[in-house]
Structures are given as structure tokens and as C-alpha cells.
Structure 1
Amino acid sequence: MAETAALYALQELCNFVVEEGCRHIVENGTLLAGFKKDFIDIKDDLESIQAFLKDADTKAAADGGGGRANEVVKTWVKQVRDVSLCIEDVVDEYEYSKYVAQWIDHSRIIAFLQPLPALIKTKYTEYQIASKIKDIKESLGKIKERMTTLLFQSESESGSYRGTKAPRIDNTRMASLFIEETQVVGIESPRDELISYLVSGTSDLMLISVVGMGGLGKTTLAKYVFNNQYVKEHFDCHYFFTISQSYTLRKMLIDMVNKFCVDNNEPIPKSLWKMDNNTLITHVRQHLQSKRYLLLFDDVWKEAFPDEIKHALISNNKGSRIIMTTRKMNIVEYFKKSVSVHVHELQPLTPDKAWELFCNKAFRGQCPIELEEMSNEIVQKCGGLPLAIVAIGGLLSTKAKTMSEWRKASQNLRMELEHNVHLTSLTKILSLSYDDLPHHLKSCMLYFGIYPEDYTINRKRLTRQWMAEGFVMNEETKSLEEVAEEYLTELVQRSLVQVSRVGFDGKVKSCQVNDLLHQVIIRKMKDLSFCHLMHKYDEQHMVVITRRISIASIPNNDLRNTSNSGIRAIFVFDRDEFPKQFIDGLSAKFKLLKVLDFQNSLLNYIPDNLGNLFLLRYLNLSHTKVTVLPKSIGNLVNLETLDLRQTKVHELPIEINKLTKLRLLPAYYRDYEGHYNIFNFTTGVKMQEGIGCLKSLQKLYFLEADHGALGLIRELKMLTQLRKLGIRCVQQQYGNALCDAIQEMKNLEPLNITVKDENEILDLDFISTPPPNLRVLNLKGGLTRLPDWIPNLQYLVKLRLGLSNFNDDPLDSLKNLTSLFRLNLWDDAFSGERLHFQRGGFPKLKELELTRLNRLSSISIDEDALVNLEHFRFKNNPQLKVVPEDLQNLKNLQFLGFAEMPVELVDSIDPEKGGVYHQIINHIPLVRIRQNVGSRRIPTQINV
């Protein structure tokens, strides 16, 4: 983590030197004149430290080892981290002072009344910064000298095993290699699956991979299958190799040749240690050439492994197999280039199997009745991880079987993980994946500890916070959002993050981490001063050095007294009301804030002085009670994200147009409590003319178009970086200007347009060149006809049409949208009586919804139409009184839903009411009906 802090400080310095050039302060005095040179010297020292820092960082993070040498390394790493944080402080303090000076220059009244004190204060700050830089330079020089000493000691003390260190197998891994059959729980299904792939199927070489997070039992499962007697008899030879993080290709090849010789009672070549890699590979191939072999490579970490080993794995058409266990899915993907691959993603134990395993370990049998509730809590915290269940169950087996002892164990589990010697191996296994992360992902992973335990985290919220913190690197051909999503995908592929929900486009919508891994992350956050947790189970006093505060369930008096000028981010998960003193004092106490997240809190106002947080990049007010933004919002010149979703902020001050770095502006309120109406369900925000200055804006939804009228629409043409646009209250007279604007938005992907009222016509015929990458289109308004450009949107995956009032069936024009995944026809999008889904139409459509089509009375579906449809929903179509018989043509349909449909249709498919058309839907696994009875909604599930 020191490596991450140093690299971030290095980036800050590079940006500072390049962009600032120290500007005006170089002109003032000898101390300030050396300012830039000192920065460059510090940058050079950090670069020279980088090469050594990664190994030292890993060594310092490793548990065990002890000894004075390891303590010296830990101390050195801490010093690097501390000085890196000081560098970040200096750069940010300078940036802050620069914006203060600019604010003074632009604030005529203040400049007129208080010029001298302000200027004195600004110059004093500059001298303070320059003095701190001198101190940092001196400290870093000493750290660099200590690095030279440590480097020399590391080289002289390193042991060797023919040039490499011998890999160590800790007690936990060793236990998984020699586990008894009676101890194995919950692997029956994956065991049978893997055995089937090993002994049957293709005669080509095949890789069977077992993938999952640390502690899931990958090694146990693989070794159990590897030692199966039926499997052993099927192969001519079988060999087991532990790869781990410390392997080298040469060492592995030597081990392979060594094992082959021992297995065949052959003498080990005397020149074995002198052979080059090519000679070793030749030996391995010669031994395997004539055999049906089985190789188990356990605990593979390095992405280069597939390319390194592929030349030794001969494909001899004898049905040979390779088993590999790994935490990284992308290693498996690399293997697909050279061999056939079967992937088994190992899942946590089911609750009943987890309970069975825990009882075996903790009680050697049945759990006492009085301990069942507490034991269940402990098992749930293990998250289905066999390693955790075995370790914690084994520890509890030594304790008194009393409720007080069990309650203490449950409440103090995190402390036990940190300090109990019987659980250190569990902590180490869970930590390995984090320690293996590249530097740019370690900070991203630590962010999961900021969120409370069991918290389901929205992907957009998380990745926007990463971007605001500067964790996401710029790449020329990709947006920051795309890079951040790639970071999250890598964490998922490394089995560190669990996907909770996936969107229709296959992207992660929400995610979380295993509870025990969450505890490990919290421990690392604490060690690294990454974030201070103000949670009900944590200490309440603010630590001296920390960059972030996570606030949940704490007394107001503790919050009121909180102050730390080095804080860069504040996150609020507390559902209680905030003390006014804390809110009003934000800009004074935490002047260097970059991230401020109040989502789902009871915050009800923003103080007028919020604009003094000049460095703020991310402000999340979504789902709060805030109704008004202060004019000082215009001072937040670094703001990139302003999240106003589900707030009643209906009008933005004109000062918002000063935020030229603003990239994301989601702002709307949806009324889920009132009676649904297409026009009053969603309310957007009013903005003043001048929004054309927001050149960096990428997402804007929902804008109330009628407030600024035609002038506002014309200004949209200047927002060429927009990737998502939602606009409401559109009038027919805006048609030409809106079409012109949309044609300029070459990066637009989702587009959502709603007219002002049901009598307005949405005229979009003048779009001759639509955005080439448009993926989501939501149009609510009268269309004289379907615009010609819509059926030609080759990347469109989601289409929703409402109020279109097509007299002719629109499906004939839309059927060839080859990428369309979801289609919604709502609120009289079609005013005819019959819809016809033609043969071959909508080849990729998976979700279809027909809602409030008031004249629709029949539907026909040709064979070979909608061939991939999985979900079909009907809602409030009053004239559709007969179930479409052609539903039986939809062979892949998994779900059929009816809501507020005519009673005749519902009765005709309900077998309990003698429904004559029940056989039409008999092939569909899940059918649900929801009817309104008075003010209540009664859901019904039909069993088929």
C-alpha cells in the first residue's frame, strides 16, 4: 500500500510540475524560487524508490516472519507512506490556496474590503508550503539512504534453492491436501461433475479449472477428485504440483522431470540443474508423449502461466487432462487459446451444508438447542467459506458451550481474526489475493471496507468514487468510466468481489464482498490509515492520520467534535439526523475534501459555505431531503460528479454553469407513492441558459426543456461529450433544434425523451445521422410515424416506446434490430388491435413487455419468431381477454407475467378454476399473476 501511496504522490507531483510550472510563486524570493526544483528532486527520489518498494511493501504486509529485519522493513515502508501523504497534502494545500486567491480576485466586495489580510494570508500559506517541501525533500533523502542499506541486506540474506526460494506450504493448505473423506462436506455435485469431465468426452487434451476465492475449498475438491480411485485407474500417470505465488518456470520444470524420474524408478539426470528451459521442456514432452496423463496444478497465480507451460503440455490424442485451481478467471481465459477448457466456478456452501460442517467441527455432532441461534449467526458470518467454517468451528470446539461464550465469539470475530493464533492462517489465505493485486487496484479494493458489512454496493457509485479519488488512470482510447469498470471486472475475475446483480447489458449493477474478507480489509485499512470507521462496533475517537471517514450509527456528540484537515473523503451511512454544527463546519474543518457522499441519509440542507470546498470532485446528495442548492455551488470548480437522484431539487442555480469540469449530473425525482402518470411520475431539474459552458458534461438526466425553451435546446448542441441524455417537457416546436443537437452527440449511448403532454408530437424525423453507438432509446410522445433511423440502430439493445399511437403495427419495422435485448411498448404506443411477431423477427430479444395498450385484443407469434425470448410481461391491457395461443411457440420462455389483466384471461389459464387454456402455458417454468382487489395487489403463482 506504501507503493500505491508513493505512486499516487508521484503522479500528483508530475501533474503539478507539468501543469503549474510554479507560475507566479517562482518570482518571489529565494525560498519560493526553489519550489519547482525541490518538487522535481522529490519526484526523482520517489522514482528511484519505486523499484524496491513493491517487494518491501509485500514483505511488510506479510504476517509472521517476525525478527528485527522484518520490523526494520515495516518501519521503512511506513516512513515512505507517511512522506507520500505529506507530499499529497502539500500539493493539495497549494491547489487550495490558489483557488482561494482566485476566489478573492473574483469577489469584488471582499477584495475591496479586505485586500491586505487576504493577500498576507495567501503569501503566508505559500511560504508555509515551500518550507514543508524543504522538510519533505530532506526526509525523502534519508529514506532513500535507508533503502540502499535494506537492499544490500536483502541481497546478502536471501536464501536460495538452486537459485530460487523453496515455496512454503502453510498449515491451512497442507490440511486441505490431506483432508479425510469423512470431513468433506458439500462437494458431491462438483465432484461428480469434474470426474465426468476427467474420464469421458473428447480425446483431445482438456483443462478442467476450479475457480473461486480463497477459502472456498478449491484445493480440497481438486485433490479429492485427483485421488479418486476410478480416476487413478483411468490414467497411465498422474502428478500433483503446487504452483503458488513464488514459482518460477525453471523450478517447476525441474520438479516435473524429478517426479517423472522417481515415478518410473529412473535415475535423476546429474545435469538436471544445469539444463536450460528448452531441454527441460523436451524431457517433459518425451515422458508424457505416449501416456494418458493427468496433471494437477494447484494454486496458480501468475497470468503468464498458460504461455509458459503450454509447450510442455503435449496433446497426444489420448484423452489426457489437466486440473488447475486458481483465484483468477483471466488465467483460465488465456488457456483457451491452446486447449479445450471446462470452467467450474466453485460456490460457497449452501446454508444447510455450512451448518453441517460447522456442527461437525464445533460439536463433533449436533448443536445444543440453546446455542442454535448464536451458532447460526456465526455460520452466516463465515459466508459459506469451508476454510472459515472449519477454522472458526475448530476454535469454538475448545470453548465452553455456553451462550455467553458463543455471543462473545460472534461479537468479537474481527478481533479474533486479528489476534487469535488459531485463525491467522485463515486471515493469511484471505489476504493473499489482496497482496497479489497490482498497486492501482489495492486502493480500489480497500474501498469495500468503507461500506458497512453486508452492504450491497452500486457499481456506478463505487466507480465514481474511485475516479474522484484519482485511483483510475487515464487511457487515451477509453473513458474513465470504462477504465473503472475494467478495474471492477478484474476484481471480480480475481474472486475478490461477488456480483450481486447484473444488468440487461451484462454489466455489473451491484456487488459486495464476503463478510470475512470485509473484516480483513478493515484490518488493512486500519493499519494503513486508509479510513477511520465511525461504526457502532468501532472505537469512536478520531485517529491522528487518516484520509477518509465512514460514518454509521454514532452519537451526535462524537460527530460534532470531529475535525481533521487531512480528510479527503467523508461517507455517511447513518440514518439519524445530522448535528447542524457538523454540517455547517464542513468547509472549515475539512477544506481538502474531494469526496462527500450523503446518499440515503437524512440530510435536509446544504450550507451556504459549501462552495469553499474548492477541491471537491464528487458530491452525492441522492435520496436525501435536500431541496435547494446554494449559489456557492459555482465555486466548486473541480466538481466532476453532482448526484441529485431522488431529491426534490427542482431548479439549479445559474452558478452551476461555471462548473466546466462537471462530467456527471443525474438529477430527478420519481414519485413512487402517487398514482402513476407518464408525465408526473418523473420530475427533472430546471437549468438556466448558459449550460453550453459545461463542455465536459457526459451525463445529464433529466433536464426540463420547457424552462429554458428553444434557447436551452440550441445550447445542447455544444455538449458534444454527452454519453447519456434525458430530457423532459419537450414541445413540437423544439423538434429541429433537438435533432440538430442529438446529431452532434457522437458518443451518446442512452437517450430518453418525453414530451410535455399527451397532445404534443415528438418530431425526430430530421435526424439524418443518429449517434452511431446508441444503445438505449426511450421515447414518450406522439410520433407521426416511426423515424427511419430507428430500425437502422445496429447497437440498440433496449427500446421503450410510449404514447406513440401507431395505427400500423410497428413490429414489421423493428423486427430486424439484430442487437435488441429488451422491448417495451407502453401507454398506447400502439393504438391498433393486433400485433404480429413475424418469423425470424427479433432474433436476440430476451425481454418483452406490453403495458397499457388499450385497444390491443390479439397477438400472433409465428414459429421461429422471438426464438430467444425468456421474459414476457403483460400489464393492464383491458381488451386482451384471450391468452395468445402462440405462446406455445416460445420454447425458451422462462417467465410469463400478467398484471391487472381482464379476469376472463386470468381464469382461462388458472387450472384451479378449470382454465381451458392452461396447456398453452404448461411449458413455461414460472407464471405469475397479479390482480388488484380494491387497494390491494394480490400476487398469484401458477405451478406448471
Structure 2
Amino acid sequence: MAYASVQMFMDKLNQLINCNDNPLINIHSIIHARPQFQILYEELGSMIKTLFIDQHHDLQKLSDLKKRFIYAAEEAEYNVDLFLSGVHIRNNGHFPTSEDFKRSLNLDDVMTSFKSVQVEFINLNKKIDSSPRPKITVNQSAPAPISFSRNSLRSKKLQDEIFVALDQDAELIIKRLVEYRKKVDVVSIVGMGGIGKTTLATKVFNDAYVKYHFDVIAWVTVSQTYDKRAVLTQILGSNHARLDLEKASDWQLHELVHRHLIDQRYLIVIDDIWHKETWDNLKSLFPSRNNGSRILLTSRITEVAKHASSDGFIHHLRYLNKDESWQLLCQKVFQGNECPDWSIKPGMRIVERCHGLPLAVVVMAGILAKHSWSEKFWVEIADRVDSYIVGDQNGCVEILALSYNHLPLHLRECFLYLGGFPEDYKFQVKRLIWLWVAEGFIQQTGNQSLEDIAEGYLMDLIDRNLVILDRWKSNGAVKACKVHDLVRELCLKKAKEERFILTVEHPMLSPRFYDVITPSYKPTVRVFMDTEYIPVFPCPSTQNLRSLFFGHFRLYNDSIARYFRFFVLLRVLDLQTRVSDEFPKGMELLVHLRYLRICNSSKKFPSSICSLWNLQTLIYFSSVNARVVIPRNISDMVNLRHLCSYFPFTRANVKIPFFLQSIEKPMNLQVISNVELGDGVDDFQKCFPYIKELTCTTYSNEQNDFKSLTYLEKLDLTCLGKRKIAITFPTTLKRLTIRYCDLPWSDMSIIQSLPNIQVLKLGRISFSGTRWNTAEHVFPQLKFLRLEGLDIELWEAYSRSFPCLKHLEVIRCYKLEEIPLEIGDIPTLELIKINECKQCVVESVRRIQEGQRDLGNYDLKINVI
């Protein structure tokens, strides 16, 4: 449990104390325990204020006290949760034989632990206050030193060995370095550890023309522990200054560097910079005489490169393709000699497992080069590439692990969590964020939502090149991401070492599975099942599980239901790939669930599921084309923020699985996806006052008034029933998709008036009429426009109507004659995509592209399907 999890525990206690209108909480036994909840809540708040907020002593003793407090808080939550589970089990008529379900709540031991920590903290403060305080000089600009175990010679040797076909990258960097720009310019090379940043910088540094162009060149290695004096001596030493550098003061060294560079055109390579503060401290060393001097940075962290120069050039180093990886492997193993024919097939398998990371290829080449060459040996190596790379403690893993060691504490749990998912897994960003929140990894700060904070955590991991972008949303946000397989292996290795997660391939055959989930002390345990076998769980010891993900076997209703009584503390349950005929019985016992993803063919949503009052996210995949009616008491889920339903495969004109006819009281939902709303849900403001994203089908014949939804940013609306309906939208709307609304084109002024709209998707029969004239319509923020399945024949558009448009899609508009020529004059336009339209539309797009090329614009891309 981390500090963020303590916050989430306190939120739960607050609800147990103060939520008077929830029948799921107002059970006699829970009401009777409220005084203890209140005392515990106040004690946790006091301890947090004492240990995490009021004090500023960065001492090992204080760190130990924090760990003890977290341990005690975890024990408190464990006891409270077992008590709540026992109450709800008995309230639902279930009487398990296990004695682990507490009939009464006793927190005496926990309170004793808290008191012990408080007393030791008071004594620690007294000791500090009575001690003489030494005079401390603090460098405000430099980050605090971080100690890391590192064999620098081994790491440097591996980096130096990486040589690949970087000619194009080097040419691009050199061109930027020597181009005619007078001011001091910063050029950055960014990428994950082991991808070849230092190698590329070395190639540029040693280029003959670069040496000719610059009067002074110097190489500085910063690394994670910044030492300004070392940087100064490296600059002077690399230029053979005849000085006694050891006896000079820092100020004298600074002056010497400044004098040495002031009248010269210089190139300074700053390799492996980790902190923005480091750059802020370094930049004063480099004088500017507007003579074309340059700084070349390498970093794993994109944010550092952006900070160094807001208008500088950042080169993101790519992974090697398969041919380049094979070329590198042959170069290192055979040293220029021809490779044997037998080596090609296993060799290609080896480089495939390196996934384009040069450092991994070099590690494998070193293993292959040290042994006699034989096909049998190469085949054996190809079967165990990951274990060799991850086991290379002095090389590849060590370099990759630096990024993990450098992570701030609030990011480590989020990062380790990624290791539990399969290789090449593509994370849907929205779902990953919901999981992080449900697990309690996200720390509340200010007025930001937990989801927004979690998105910031993810972007931080992306900036650190530990997570890879995979797909973008139409508004430019990240839609999907992934991790490099070697990073995943490192992540999984660290996670298992810390007992943070456990992956199980053969649970019936793995004694370690039983050992990990049955320790003497009951920690948060997350188990990822990836097996074709039906698991046999050791009962009742699995009750300490907090997260459970199932893999590739078909799970029937009774296969999992019989274990629910032993999973009572689960927070996360993912049954998405499992298909059963109905909702598993007994799921209502899992009252601590925060995240549930389930797939089945049931046509009935049991009302008992609505007793899961802790649930934040409910994702339902229907395996049949059938509508599932949601009971009106779903509003008892007072913490439900995300309600989503999907079919496993996209099919045209299918019914949306969830149907919500009416609800009993307002809900705290933020996201509703693929839900049909009945006549009992016509007042959106009353039903969903905090909704941010709404994807729904409505049958209401009344006016669809969304204007009062002051938090709504995304609306995907399908209107069925009476046509020619009236719709109003809130000014907060950023993304809008409509279909079957049959609006006149004159109503486009309603959308045009929305000041924040960035994405507009007009689907089938969203508007009726053969002519759309945008002369009077200006979309000041619109970046993405899609026209799909419209009966439009003539589209009159002007560049001034879409001043920020980047992406235009026209799909299955079979009657449309052409794309207006003026569209090509939009200065921000990057892509026009045409799919299943007349040939004359395709020809008009080609004319637009040719016209732009005649004007020197080669950035506009055309994609015709």
C-alpha cells in the first residue's frame, strides 16, 4: 500500500461514516461500527499530516516510520474489509464455514501500532531539535544526488560497441548543427536506454566536417549525479588546456570555460542528461556571440529536451528494423566475414526477440561470438533470448534499469503494473488509467480528477521513453500504448522481486503460486492468469488476493463462482475473455470490487450486482446480439464512474447491449459508453450531473437538451425514433459524434457556435440535404472532421472556415462530387483520407495535393482506400 492507497482507504471510511442514504451501507452492524470508523479516519488523517505533510526531515529513521505506518494502515484496511465482507455475506444469507470473516471490528492492535509510530516520531523530533545544526550549503539549481550501483566501464563498453546504419540520422543532426542560425541552438537526441543515443552523438562528434565547421568541440558526460566541477574540467580537459585544474576553484574554472568559448564557434555535446535543473545550471556556461555555436544533448527524458530549448530540434531515435538488426548481429559475430547459411534462420529469430533495440542485439552477439559456431547452439540461444538479455546483469539490464531506478516513487507502481500483461500487449489508455485508479496508485492533488492525474503519470512514463505510443485519438491525445518487450521483462522481474504482481502459466503445477498468495502477512497481491488450464485455487488462503486477471481458457459460470467466497477482498476482477451463459452467481459477495470487466451471453443483469457499492468501473462485453436491461437500482452504486458495454467484434447496425430504462436517483457517472437510454432518463442534468463522456442511443421524442451538462466534453449520440429532433449542446463540448439525427444543414450553426469543439464526426443521416455551404460557419478550434455515409452532393467550403483543421476524412459519401479546392489552402492541414467515394472525389483530392506541391507544400498527405 502506498500513500495514494491510504487516501483511497480514507475515502471509503468517510463514506461508511457519512453516507446515510445508501441501503448497502446502512446495515445495523456497519452503523454500530461507525464510531470505530470515525476514530480510525481521524487517526489516519493525523498520521498523514504528521509524517507526510508537516515535517521536512529527510532521514532514514523517518523513512522507516513511514513504512511502518503504511504497514499498519494496510492491516487496518484488511481488518475493515474482512469485517465488511462478513456483514454483507451474512446479510445476503451466505454463511461460509471460514472463521476469517470478522463478526465484530477490533482495531486495538492497529491503534497500538499507530501510537508506537507517533511516540517514536515525537522522540525523533526532540532529538533533532536538541542537536546542534551544522551549516549547510545548498545548491538550489542542482538536483539532489542519487546513488546508483553501476559498472560504468562495462556500460560504456557496450554503448561503444553499438554501431548501426545511423547515416541518415547523423546526416539529419549534422545538417541542423551546421545550418545558418546565428544564435546558440540546442539539438537533442532522445530515446530509451540502449537505443543508441550516445552512439549517434559519437558519430556526429567524430564527423570530419563537424570538426572542420566548429572551432572548439567538447564532450561532457553528465549522467544522473550531476557534478558541475566535473563538467567544467571535462570541457577544459577535452581541449587540452594546460592548467592545473585540481587546484583551481569552481569560480576560476567557470571563468576559464567562459573565456575559452567566448570568441569561438563551439559544439558542446552533453551526454546523458536527466534533469531540467541540471540544464538550468549548465546553460550559463555557454556564451552567445551569435556565431552559430551549438549544444547537442542526449537524454532518455523528452521533457528535459523540451525544457532545454523550446524551439530546438528534438530527434527521437527509432528502433532498428529486422534487416538492420541482422546486419548488426552479423557485424559483431562474424567481424566482416560471410555468415553461414545455417545461421540465418535461428539468427533472424534471435534479432526478432531483440525487438529493434541495438543494445540487446549487441548482448546476444557477445554470447554467440564467445562460443563455437554451430546451428544447434544458435537454435538453443534463439529459444532463450529473453533470459539471456534479462540475465545479463552487467550490461543490458543494468542500462535499462537506470530508467527504473530514476523513477519517482509515485510512478513505480504504475510502471511495475505493466509487467503483468502479455508480451506485445496494447494498452487502451482509458482502461489502463481506470485500472491504476482502482488499484489505488494515483495520489489526489488539488482539484484535478484522479483520471486526469493518472493521464499525467502515463505521459511522464512516455516522456521517459519507458512506454511507447501506439495509436492517437482524433484530437491528438494518446489512445493506445505499449512497452518494449525487454522493458516488460525488466518490469516483470522487478515486480516479482518485490512481490508486487505474480504471473501464472500453470497454476496447478506451480508451487510458487501457493507460496506467494499464502504468506504469513497478507499483502496486496495481484495475480495474472495466462493459462489454458482451469485453475485450482487453494482455499481459503486466496482471500488476500486484491486483483485477478484471467487468461486464455474458457471459463464457465461455476468455474469461478465457487471461489467468490474466497475472493472477498478483490478490488479488480477481469473476466473479459471468459464466456459464460450468465452472470456468475455469488458475485455480489465481492463488495470491495472497484473494477469489473466481464464477458458473457446473459440477457439479464442481476439486481444483486448493484450491491457492489465500491465499484468504480463496470465494463460489459456481450457475446450475443441481445439487449441487457440494467435494473433501476444501479444508482445504489454510489462510486460508479464508468459504465461501458461493447460487442467483442464490430458489426453494423447491432443493438447496444445495455439498456437503462430509468434510475432511482442521480449518479456520479463520468463516462457512459454504448448505453441505450429510455424515457425514464430524459433529464440528463438530473440523472448524470457530472458526466464528462456520453456515448448513448436515445429513443426520446422530446428535445435532447445536453446544454445543462456543464462537465460534458465528449458526446457520441445516436437518435432513433422521431426524426427532425431538436438538440442543444454545452459550450464545454470538445468532441462530438452524431448519427441518425436527420438535422437540416442550417442547424450546423448550433455546432459552429461551440467554442471548444476540436473533433466533429458526422455519421449516417446525421444531417439531411444534398448541399452544405460552410461560408457562414467558422470552426475556430476544429482539428478533425469526418463525413461518413451522408447523402451530400455538393460541399462548398473555404479555408477560413477551418483555420486549425489537421485531418479530414470522407467515408462512403457516395453522392459527393468533389472535395472543395479551397480545403488545400488550410495551413494546418496534414492529411486527407478518402474511403469508398466516387472517382471524381479522388481526382479532386489529387488536384489539391498537386496544387499544394506547386506552392512548395509537401507536408499534405493523401490516403485513398
Q: TM-score, normalised by structure 1?
A: 0.77
Contact preservation (8 Å) 1:575, 1:602: no
Q: Paired residue for 1:734, among 685, 693, 702?
A: 702
Contact preservation (8 Å) 1:799, 1:820: no
The equivalent of 1:285 in structure 2 is: 258
CA 98–786 in structure 1, closer or farther in 2 if over 3 Å, else same: farther
- Which fold has the larger relative contact order, with Cα–Cα distance below 8 Å and residues 6 or more apart in sequence? 2
**AA of the residue aligned to 1:663:** R
How big is each residue's C-alpha offset from its partner over 1:834-876, in whole Å with a ceiling of 9 and x where there is no partner?
3333454433434444455565456653475556555545556
Q: Paired residue for 1:745, among 704, 709, 733?
A: 709
Distance 2:710 2:597 in 1: 28
**AA of the residue aligned to 1:887:** V
Distance 1:455 1:467 in 2: 20
CA 293–889 in structure 1, closer or farther in 2 if over 3 Å, else same: same
Q: Paired residue for 1:789, among 746, 750, 762?
A: 750
The equivalent of 2:196 in structure 1 is: 217
1:140 CA displacement: 10
CA 38–698 in structure 1, closer or farther in 2 if over 3 Å, else same: closer
Distance 2:202 2:631 in 1: 65
How big is each residue's C-alpha offset from its partner over 1:696-721, in whole Å with a ceiling of 9 and x where there is no partner?
1111133323xx32x32125533121
1:607 CA displacement: 1.9
Contact preservation (8 Å) 1:663, 1:697: yes
Distance 1:33 1:608 in 2: 34
Distance 1:825 1:585 in 2: 50
Contact preservation (8 Å) 1:754, 1:781: yes
Does 1:702 find its partner at 2:674?
yes
Report the 3-state secondary structure (helix = DSSP H, G, I; strand = E; otherwise coil) of the residue aligned with 2:658.
coil
**AA of the residue aligned to 1:642:** L
How big is each residue's C-alpha offset from its partner over 1:529-553, in whole Å with a ceiling of 9 and x where there is no partner?
0111013699564124561001112
1:292 CA displacement: 1.4
TM alignment of 1:865-880, pairs within 5 A: 865=825, 869-872=829-832, 880=838
Distance 1:515 1:11 in 2: 33
Contact preservation (8 Å) 1:45, 1:141: no
Q: Cα RMSD over matched residues?
A: 4.3
**AA of the residue aligned to 1:644:** Y
Contact preservation (8 Å) 2:833, 2:863: no
Q: Paired residue for 1:374, among 339, 343, 346?
A: 346
**AA of the residue aligned to 1:810:** W
1:492 CA displacement: 0.8
Contact preservation (8 Å) 1:686, 1:704: yes
The equivalent of 1:723 in structure 2 is: 692
1:307 CA displacement: 1.5
1:389 CA displacement: 0.9
CA 50–226 in structure 1, closer or farther in 2 if over 3 Å, else same: farther
TM alignment of 1:480-879, pairs within 5 A: 480-535=450-505, 539=510, 541-542=512-513, 543=516, 544-545=518-519, 547-558=525-536, 563-572=541-550, 574-578=551-555, 580=557, 582-621=559-598, 624-625=600-601, 627-645=603-621, 647-648=623-624, 650-669=628-647, 672=650, 676=652, 680-690=653-663, 692-694=665-667, 696-705=668-677, 708-709=678-679, 711-714=680-683, 716-731=685-700, 733-735=701-703, 738-739=704-705, 742-757=706-721, 760-764=722-726, 767=728, 770-784=730-744, 786-787=746-747, 788-796=749-757, 797-804=759-766, 806-807=768-769, 809-812=771-774, 815-830=777-792, 833-838=793-798, 840-851=800-811, 853=813, 855-857=815-817, 860-862=820-822, 865=825, 869-872=829-832
Q: Paired residue for 1:204, among 160, 176, 183?
A: 183
Distance 2:481 2:669 in 1: 27
Contact preservation (8 Å) 1:540, 1:558: no
1:795 CA displacement: 2.4
**AA of the residue aligned to 2:673:** Y
CA 547–785 in structure 1, closer or farther in 2 if over 3 Å, else same: same
Contact preservation (8 Å) 2:273, 2:298: yes
The equivalent of 2:208 in structure 1 is: 229
Report the 3-state secondary structure (helix = DSSP H, G, I; strand = E; otherwise coil) of the residue aligned with 2:630.
coil
Report the 3-state secondary structure (helix = DSSP H, G, I; strand = E; otherwise coil) of the residue aligned with 1:564.
helix
Distance 2:59 2:375 in 1: 46
Report the 3-state secondary structure (helix = DSSP H, G, I; strand = E; otherwise coil) of the residue aligned with 1:97.
helix
Distance 1:871 1:30 in 2: 62
Q: Paired residue for 2:3, among 4, 7, 26?
A: 7
Contact preservation (8 Å) 1:296, 1:322: yes
Q: TM-score, normalised by structure 2?
A: 0.84
Distance 2:817 2:824 in 1: 22
Report the 3-state secondary structure (helix = DSSP H, G, I; strand = E; otherwise coil) of the residue aligned with 2:742.
coil
Distance 1:651 1:631 in 2: 10
Count of residue pairs brought into register by the alignment:
823
1:248 CA displacement: 3.4
Structure 1 residue runs without a partner (length 5+): 58-75, 150-162, 896-921, 930-944
Q: Which structure has more helix as a fraction of its residues?
A: 1
CA 570–893 in structure 1, closer or farther in 2 if over 3 Å, else same: farther
How big is each residue's C-alpha offset from its partner over 1:107-139, in whole Å with a ceiling of 9 and x where there is no partner?
5x85xx99xx99x99765423x43355468769
Report the 3-state secondary structure (helix = DSSP H, G, I; strand = E; otherwise coil) of the residue aligned with 2:544.
coil
Distance 1:577 1:608 in 2: 17
Does 1:891 find its partner at 2:861?
no
How big is each residue's C-alpha offset from its partner over 1:224-275, in whole Å with a ceiling of 9 and x where there is no partner?
22122332232222222111111134x3455357537x723234484515x4
Structure 2 residue runs without a partner (length 5+): 20-28, 128-143
Contact preservation (8 Å) 2:824, 2:849: no
Does 1:189 find its partner at 2:174?
no
Distance 2:833 2:447 in 1: 40
Does 1:406 find its partner at 2:366?
no
1:569 CA displacement: 0.9
Q: Paired residue for 1:451, among 421, 441, 446?
A: 421
Report the 3-state secondary structure (helix = DSSP H, G, I; strand = E; otherwise coil) of the residue aligned with 2:395.
helix
Distance 2:294 2:171 in 1: 16
1:508 CA displacement: 1.3
Report the 3-state secondary structure (helix = DSSP H, G, I; strand = E; otherwise coil) of the residue aligned with 2:270.
strand
Range with greater deviation from structure 2 (218-227 or 645-654): 645-654
CA 424–141 in structure 1, closer or farther in 2 if over 3 Å, else same: farther
Does 1:460 find its partner at 2:430?
yes
CA 715–455 in structure 1, closer or farther in 2 if over 3 Å, else same: closer
Distance 1:698 1:18 in 2: 21
CA 407–22 in structure 1, closer or farther in 2 if over 3 Å, else same: farther
Report the 3-state secondary structure (helix = DSSP H, G, I; strand = E; otherwise coil) of the residue aligned with 1:376.
helix
Report the 3-state secondary structure (helix = DSSP H, G, I; strand = E; otherwise coil) of the residue aligned with 1:665.
strand
CA 148–528 in structure 1, closer or farther in 2 if over 3 Å, else same: farther
Distance 1:556 1:351 in 2: 38
The equivalent of 2:156 in structure 1 is: 174
TM alignment of 1:36-55, pairs within 5 A: 47=52
Report the 3-state secondary structure (helix = DSSP H, G, I; strand = E; otherwise coil) of the residue aligned with 2:681.
helix
1:726 CA displacement: 2.2
Distance 2:3 2:317 in 1: 35
CA 466–647 in structure 1, closer or farther in 2 if over 3 Å, else same: farther
**AA of the residue aligned to 2:3:** L
Distance 2:213 2:859 in 1: 41
How big is each residue's C-alpha offset from its partner over 1:201-236, in whole Å with a ceiling of 9 and x where there is no partner?
212111121110000111122122212233223222
Distance 1:860 1:197 in 2: 37
1:727 CA displacement: 2.5
Distance 1:16 1:632 in 2: 21
